[in-house]
């Protein structure tokens, strides 16, 4: 196990704040807070991502304001110098930073969007497309009960000349995989994805609680 963390969501009216935090054993931190509206459609409002520590090749602090199109990335270069990249981008309504899991839990099987937009920090902010495809249903079980999860594959489409050259240079990001529990109340099961551009694929799964053994309920042999 590399890290453990929490996914927290709070709703107030049609506005939802979701925060995903991973605390790594080596002291690294991945902390992302996204705010989005859910009036008829999910629409990202703001996103703030902080990655720091030895688990990340290049620690960054990225903020996105979709309405204004302003994206700011603060990072340290190879010499340890503080740098800032600020870009004014045309950010579309389907921007999915910080809300991909939410989108996949709520998507209809017969109306899967072919792609969503995503701002990647390279560290210069770059708008790319994530192509989405359903790869079928995979079986698993919980407490002996058989269940099925829809397996989604997300492929980064860099676009332009860079997108053509990237696979040739071995810089095409690997595909991400997300499994969502089917049924009346879809739920996240696991994912295999890179948390930063050029990073390794890390598997993220739900964990079960571990209770301390109570003296009052422990069995005693005589």
Q: What is the pLDDT of residues 69-112, one digit of tens each?
A: 999 999 988 888 899 999 999 999 999 999 999 999 998 767 88
Q: d(Cα 170, Cα 123) in Å, to the nearest integer?
A: 18
- CA dihedral (55, 58, 61, 64) in degrees, to 10, reads -110
In tens, the pLDDT along 41-66 reads: 899 999 999 999 999 988 999 999 99
Compute CA distances 84 → 65, 74, 77, whole Å: 16, 4, 10
Nearest to 113 by CA among 99, 98, 130, 132: 132
The predicted structure's pLDDT at residue 216: 61
Q: How much of the chain is helix, strand and coil, in % rounded to 5?
A: 10, 55, 40
Identify the residue with better confidence: 33 or 164: 33
Which pTM does this prediction carry?
0.87
Q: How far is the C-alpha of 200 from the C-alpha of 189, rounded, in Å?
A: 20
Tens of pLDDT, residues 106-117: 987 678 889 999
Distance, CA of 140 to CA of 189 (rounded, Å) = 10
* pLDDT tens per residue across span 105-163: 998 767 888 999 999 998 889 999 999 999 999 999 988 999 999 999 999 987 643 44
Question: What is the rounded average pLDDT for all residues in the chain?
Answer: 89
């Amino acid at each position: 196990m590399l890290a453990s963390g929490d996914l927290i969501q709070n709703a107030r009216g049609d506005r939802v704040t979701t925060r995903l935090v991973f605390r790594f054993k080596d002291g690294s931190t991945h902390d992302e807070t996204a705010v989005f509206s859910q009036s008829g459609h999910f629409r990202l409002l703001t996103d703030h991502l902080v990655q720091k520590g030895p688990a990340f090749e290049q620690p960054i602090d990225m903020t996105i304001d979709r309405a204004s199109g302003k994206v700011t990335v603060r990072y340290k270069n190879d010499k340890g110098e503080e740098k800032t990249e600020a870009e004014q981008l045309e950010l579309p309504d389907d921007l999915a930073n910080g809300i991909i899991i939410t989108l996949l839990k709520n998507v209809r099987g017969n109306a899967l969007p072919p792609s969503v937009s995503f701002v990647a920090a390279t560290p210069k902010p770059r708008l790319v497309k994530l192509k989405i495809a359903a790869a079928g249903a995979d079986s698993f079980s919980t407490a002996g009960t058989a269940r099925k999860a829809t397996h989604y594959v997300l492929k980064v489409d860099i676009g332009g000349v860079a997108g053509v050259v990237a696979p040739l240079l071995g810089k095409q990001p690997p595909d991400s995989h997300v499994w969502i529990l089917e049924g009346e109340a879809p739920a996240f099961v696991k994912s295999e994805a890179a948390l930063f551009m050029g990073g390794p694929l890390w598997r993220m799964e739900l964990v079960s609680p571990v209770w301390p053994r109570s003296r009052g309920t422990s069995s005693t042999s005589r």
